[in-house]
Structure 1
Amino acid sequence: MRGVVCLGLLLAGAVITTAMKGTKPEAKKPNIVLFFIDDLGYGDLSVTGALGYTTPNLDKMAKEGTRFTNFMAAQAVCSASRAALLTGCYPNRVGISGALGPKDPTGLNPKEETIAELVKAQGYATGIFGKWHLGNQEEFLPLQQGFDEYYGVPYSHDMWPLHPWQERAQYPPLHWIDGNKPGKEIKNLEDASELTPAITERAVSFIRKNKNKPFFLYVPHPLPHVPLAASAKFRGKSERGIFGDVLMELDWSVGEIMKELKAQGLDENTLVIFTSDNGPWLNYGDHAGSAGGFREGKGTSFEGGQREPTIMRWPGVVPAGRICNKLLSAIDILPTIAKLTGARLPKEKIDGVEFVDLLKGDETKTPRETFLYYYRKNSLEAVRKGDWKLVFAHPGRTYEGSLPGKNGQPGSAPEDHQYPKALYHLTRDPAERYDVLEQNPEIVAELEKIAEAAREDLGDDLQQKAGKNNREAGKGQKM
């Protein structure tokens, strides 16, 4: 009997060993770090042509990853752009427009599903350190939108009594928010100089605390949105004045977070994404960035307002030293992260498309062929297919023809400039200077069809047309 039992145990062990040899270990879920910089222009990194300062950590990230040159913010303004990033939807689909003020009762509807909620269901730790700007009432804050931790500012740090625009003198004091509770007041520019280092410190701490589980770290830096402020370590260090100092400190922040990933042995299992919410606020002159030769800037649907410097890095997965010119948008980040992490997509309709294969280097893939340029509340100002962009006649902001401001004071930027209908070919004319509408009636007709379908789906204030598939923003208490 003893011999039979021993033989049985040996056979069982052999079967288990054979089965184990044929089983691949479960792939480790990647960490995600998402930098979302405020008002950064396409030309504001040294790798994209900036002068007077350098961004060595971001240049290194570009060398070790892929730079996307046709990456679009979903809308060229703060709150709308952030709502789109986190939900994978055009912001007008989820009812968010413009930049929500401190007394605005509106916020991102808690019914919407964010990146944080989707990956949290997959066992991810989730943290946001920086600017939220999707509703400052408690029901709209990050802890109610899928994040485990939040430390930052609830809206743009120019929404305070010290802003040079007179109407903002009535704004309430600006406080840091820790979790759901107000913290230290940001009273002046010296206090504002703590923004970048404090956010960086909390982000690094989050990585250390969650090194043994997958995490989603969202770092929406409030700068270089005005008012500009740099810590003593960086003040006066650039040849570009305070704007260059701020960019050097933001680059340092990226470097510190990347350094911590390596120190914790997480570097090779982490996708790092760096992009911006919209282009530069050009009427601030020497306190604003550069659109890198593209037309106009923040608050416009021209390329200078929506085309963003974008870098993605994941050693061994995302090709190093690569430049990808395919059309993509911030709304595509959610479905891409969902696929990489095994998370389900939101139950409601989204507009983003996943680009995992393209991210990994398959240039035969073209995930996005069209893009819609919306602005104001729900105005369809342009449509794009491939390299063709049809701009519709619309009133809008322009920085051209006005002298920019200086030393933190804004210059003029009229909001009622009348733009004519025009067609641009962005390969030959990325600055959108040569209207070729009359020469290409068949292209115009094709793009008009895309616009009509968009108007049916999402609406168009310019044509007083309501969309069939828009959802409402969250409504809080009037303040």
Structure 2
Amino acid sequence: MISEGMRLTQFYSAAPVCSPSRASLMTGRLYPRTGVYSGKPGTFNSTGLSVFSPFSNGGMNLSEITVAQMLKPLGYATGALGKWHLGIKTQYLPASRGFDSYFGVPMTQNECTSNVESNNKFGPCPTMHNNTVAVQPTDVLNIDAAYVDNIKEFMTVHREGPFFFYYASHHTHMPQFAAPGIRNTTMRGLFGDSLAELDWSVGQILDHIVELGIQNNTLVMFSADNGPELSDVDLGGEQGQLKCGKGTTYEGGVREPGIFWWPSVIEPGSISYALGSTLDLSVTAVSLAGGKPPQDRATDGFDLTPVLTGQSENGPRDHMLYYSGHILMAIRLHQYKAHFYTKGSHCRSTYHDQDCWDATGLQQHDPPLLFDVETDTKERFPLDVTQKEYSAVLAGIVQLKAEHGKGMTFAPGEMNMGGDEMNFPCCNPACTPRNACCACPKREASQHKATNAV
């Protein structure tokens, strides 16, 4: 994708953990607006950083409008595949949020019992077809092949008309896994094998787009939902020349790949230093379809089309807001980033940088810590804000923070709604003991494919 498309080097996830970042991707809105957080705005003893569980009563606020719901009135067929993590009850699942079809395990694989990890706290991993459990337990080791078949079939059926498809792979979240044919094929161990299978699935999708002859009309966007989980050491990923990882609003927690592939439109092998975010993906898609985001609410994403087409070098975005739970932790304006609060997360105390540790709690900084994150990506050297140049920079960021605060609204925190073990998807809900007993009769491959036809 990089050699044939564009890479954005200053690209960010909207949150440092899964559920919030996916809410922003789906809506183009800062996730506290969508209710996908825990905690109470105005209280600063915790960041309220959390994700939905398979027992959750809540989900992304039902008043939110997803990118699929924006595109449906414009004539688009919509499909979703893989992990969802925005609520487990029927009203929160993709088939209830604008997607014509959904096939996948709606949770992370460490939240259910499977052949890659046993977690009896919940139950056997369910594969959903729309709002119904189609397979349980799921063969996670071979799920990628089933996912690839599903998206290929969707694209084949809808090749004559416009479509939007969202594929959320389970790679490379812990526990790592790879299909038997890919296992032990890389020098990077199980993490490398997991990454190789992700690479294989993306390649299969791109190849099929070319086989269908629709590549010149199809934009493929690739990114991630958060940084590496440093507590898992070599199985958690690597942040390279960035500071800390998942769960933090340091660069290693939120700066992600931003790769865009669109033959005949995007210049092959191009690199952009424009700021971008997963907040921008839905807005870009809707704009290219000839539509606009809902006008009755704030939209925080920008249309990246001018960047992708080479019409703009700097792009429409000049700042990034870094929320953690309900707290605005930091703001980046151009190349400068000010930390008002910092907190460690997802990192053991054996790690060399104490700022990243789980045990390093929420710290307020007055004055804020100011970094030039273009030249100091590891955020090691705070700039002297008593100097005139940097004092003016910080003043601009503080003004931006005040202006943002005037228009910022928080939906009620959906993660505060508690949970019920009966919410866990079960194809045999009358069985006992719930949820360990949930199981569906195994289907033959041909039946499985017909069941999940789009």
**TM bracket, shorter-chain basis:** 0.7 to 0.9
Q: How does 1:226-265 map to 2 (within 5 A)?
A: 226-265=174-213
Unaligned 5+ residue runs, structure 1?
1-60, 405-410, 459-468
2-structure distance, mates of 1:103, 1:392: 34
Per-residue Cα deviation, 1:347-393 (whole angstroms, up to 9, x for no partner): 32211111211110123453001111000x21111011000000013
Distance 1:143 1:326 in 2: 34
Task: State the Cα distance separating 1:311 from its structure 2 match.
Answer: 0.8
Alpha-carbon deviations, 1:87-112, whole Å to 9, x = none? 00010111112310111111112321
Residue 426 of structure 1: aligned partner: 373
Counterpart of 2:146 in structure 1 is 198
1:446 aligns with 2:396: yes
Using the alignment, how far apart are the partners of 2:363 and 2:159 within structure 1?
Answer: 53
Displacement of 1:159 in angstroms is 1.1
Work out whether residues 320 and 331 of structure 2, in 8 Å CA contact, stay in contact via their aligned partners in 1.
Answer: yes
Please report how far the alpha carbon of residue 425 of structure 1 lies from its aligned counterpart in structure 2 after TM superposition.
0.5
In the TM superposition, residue 247 of structure 1 has moved relative to its aligned partner by: 0.8
* Offset, 1:403: 4.8
User: Match of 2:11?
Assistant: 71
User: Could you tell me which amino acid in structure 2 is paired with residue 354 of structure 1?
Assistant: D
Partner of 1:174: 125
Following TM superposition, by how much is the alpha carbon of 1:177 offset from its aligned partner in structure 2, in angstroms? 1.1
Q: Does 2:20 align with 1:80?
A: yes
Segment of structure 1 superposing worse, 146-155 or 336-345: 336-345
The alignment status of 1:335 with 2:283, answered yes or no, reads yes
1:369 aligns with 2:318: yes
SS at 2:317 equivalent: coil
1:179-198 Cα shifts (integer Å, max 9, x gaps): 101132246xxx32123222
Distance 1:368 1:403, change over 3 A: closer
Larger deviation, residues 290-299 vs 104-113: 104-113
Instruction: Render the CA deviation track for 1:113-164: whole Å, top value 9, x for unaligned.
Output: 1111111111111111110111010011101111011011112111135899
Match of 1:155 in 2: 107
Partner AA of 1:93 in structure 2: R
Aligned counterpart in structure 2 of residue 291 of structure 1, from 233, 239, 244: 239
| Paired residue total | 398
Q: Secondary structure at the match of 2:253?
A: helix
Q: CA deviation at 1:477?
A: 9.1
RMSD of aligned Cα (Å): 2.4
Change (3 A) 1:474 1:121: farther
Residue 206 of structure 1 deviates from its aligned partner by 0.9
Q: Distance in 1 between matches of 2:22 and 2:82?
A: 12
Q: Summarize deviations over 1:18-51 as a string: whole Å, max 9, x none.
A: xxxxxxxxxxxxxxxxxxxxxxxxxxxxxxxxxx
Secondary structure of the residue that 1:323 maps to in structure 2?
strand
- How far, CA to CA, are the matches of 1:448 and 1:359 in structure 2? 31
Separation of aligned partners in 1, 2:122 and 2:204: 34
Query: By how many angstroms is 1:472 displaced?
Result: 4.1
Equivalent position SS for 1:325: strand
Q: In 1, Cα distance between the equivalents of 2:122 and 2:405?
A: 36
- CA gap of 1:252–1:162, structure 2 versus 1, over 3 A, is closer
The one-letter amino acid of 1:328's match is G
Aligned to 1:54: none
Aligned mates of 2:384, 2:339 — CA distance in 1:
10
Highest Rg: 1 or 2?
1
> Once the 2 structures are TM-superposed, how far is the Cα of residue 204 of structure 1 from its aligned partner?
1.1
The whole-number CA distance in structure 1 between the counterparts of 2:361 and 2:53 is 22
Q: Which letter does structure 2 place at the counterpart of 1:341?
A: A
> How far did 1:278 drift?
0.7
Kindly provide the CA deviation profile for residues 193-227 of structure 1, in whole angstroms up to 9, marking residues without a partner as x: 12322211211111111112111011010111011
Query: What's the offset of the Cα at 1:337?
Result: 1.1
2:316 counterpart letter in structure 1: P
Residue 455 of structure 1 and its aligned partner are, at CA, apart by 2.7
Query: What TM-score, normalized to structure 1?
Result: 0.78
Kept in 1: contact 2:36–2:414 (CA 8 A) = no
Q: Measured at CA, do residues 154 and 263 of structure 1 come closer, stay the same or move farther in structure 2, by a change above 3 Å?
A: same
SS in 1 for 2:110: coil
Q: For 1:188-227, what aligned pairs fall within 5 Å after superposition?
A: 191-227=139-175
Q: 1:416 matched to which residue of 2?
A: 361
The equivalent of 2:227 in structure 1 is: 279
Superimposed CA distance per residue, residues 237-267 of structure 1 (whole angstroms, 9 cap, x where no aligned partner): 0011111111111111011111111111111
The code of the aligned residue for 2:166 comes to Y
Kept after mapping to 2: 8 A contact 1:107/1:473: no
Query: Is the contact between residue 178 and residue 193 of structure 2 (CA under 8 Å) also seen in structure 1?
Result: yes
Deviation at 1:437, TM superposition (A): 3.9
Name the residue aligned to 1:109. 61
TM-score relative to the length of structure 2: 0.82
Deviates more, 1:213-222 or 1:349-358: 349-358
Q: Do residues 96 (structure 1) and 36 (structure 2) align?
A: yes
Shift of 1:453: 2.2
Aligned pair partner of 2:2 in 62, 66, 77: 62
SS in 2 for 1:391: strand
Unaligned runs of 5+ in 2: 38-49, 421-454
1:429-449, Cα deviation, whole Å (9 max, x unpaired): 111110114342222222111
Equivalent residue letter for 2:98: G
| Structure-2 change in CA distance of 1:427 and 1:62 (3 Å) | same
